[in-house]
Amino acid sequence: MAGKPKLYYFDGRGKMESIRWLLAAAGVEFEEEFLETREQYEKLLQDGSLLFQQVPMVEIDGMNMVQSRAIASYIAAKYKLYGKDLKERALIDLYVGGTDDLMGFILIFPFLSAEDKEKQRIFIVEKATSRYFPAYEKVLKDHGQDFLVGNNFSWADVHLLEAILMVEEKKSDVLTGFPQLQAFKARISSIPTIKKFLQPGSQRKPVPDDKYVETVRRVLCMYYDMKAN
């Protein structure tokens, strides 16, 4: 029952990537089983390991956890990345909710037609620069601390860095005009566990490609007809 957490998902980012980031940030080693065939997925269904018939699924502390938000909350609390009290937790949940919404626009990106991808890229950058980045820029400016919540490294910081890097992959100079976020990015990237995760050879997954999209569609028999926001 003790032993490393085991992640069940595709060999790609999707909804599991935030969990990989969080475990890595907490310095927790984990194993992964990659879904490549429909048969593997059907076997998991038959075994009853997927509570709502979906992945991500993470075997951790004797539980088969599903629902990425539930999994991440558990990990954050277990490894003391969830603030010191209810109010700090509320702030962390609030901030993570925002970055989740932003990363949600990026999640569907690989599944779009070439034309819709261009529309979505513009949409992502617009939302990042007019809605989300200004909010976090202000938080950091107002308290002048290194971390988003309670002057302590938390899940909110990990999630924001992940979101920043993902948006930068769509537009490399997107942080122009956000000096606090630029400094934040440099600071959080140099935290030892995060620095390690950002190096080649870590379990961080690359930007999703056509092969990833094919695999997801084949295994789940879904996501054939996605539209831009």
Partner 1 sequence: MSGKPRLIYLNGRGRMEPVRWLLAAAGVEFEEIFLETREQYEKLIRDGVLMFQQVPMVEIDGMKMVQTRAILSYIAGKYNLYGKDLKERALIDMYVEGITDLMQMILMFPFSTPEAKEKNIDSIKERATNRYFPVFEKVLKQHGQDFLVGNKFSWADVQLIEAILAVEEKIPAVLSGFPQLQAFKKRMSNMPTIKKFLQPGSPRKPPPDEHYVETVLKVFKK
Which residue ranges make up the site for partner 1 (CB under 8 A)? 51-53, 61, 63, 65-67, 69-70, 73-74, 77-78, 86-87, 89-91, 93-94, 96-98, 101, 131-132, 135
Q: How far is the CB of 212 from partner 1 (least distance, A)?
A: 23
Q: Is the separation of the CB atoms in 145 and 185 below 8 Å?
A: no
Tell me whether residue 33 or residue 93 sits nearer to partner 1 (CB atom).
Answer: 93
* CB 182 to partner 1: min, Å: 21
Separation between Cα atoms, residue 210 and residue 228, nearest integer Å: 17
Minimum CB distance to partner 1 smaller for 91 or for 165:
91
Nearest residue (CB) to partner 1, 51 versus 221 = 51
Nearest CB to partner 1, comparing residues 72 and 194: 72
Q: How far apart are CA 24 and CA 218, in angstroms?
A: 29
Tell me the H-state helices in 36-152.
38-47, 68-78, 86-107, 114-127, 133-143
What beta strand segments (E) does the chain contain? 6-9, 31-34, 57-60, 63-66
Asked if residue 64 lies in contact with residue 38, where contact means CB atoms within 8 angstroms, the answer is no
Closest distance of CB 138 from partner 1, Å: 9
Q: Across-strand partners of 32?
A: 7
What minimum distance in Å lies between the beta carbon of 144 and partner 1?
19
Residue 199 Cβ vs partner 1, minimum distance, rounded to whole Å: 31
The amino acid sitting at 88 is: E
Q: Based on CB atoms, which residue is closest to partner 1, 65 or 140?
A: 65
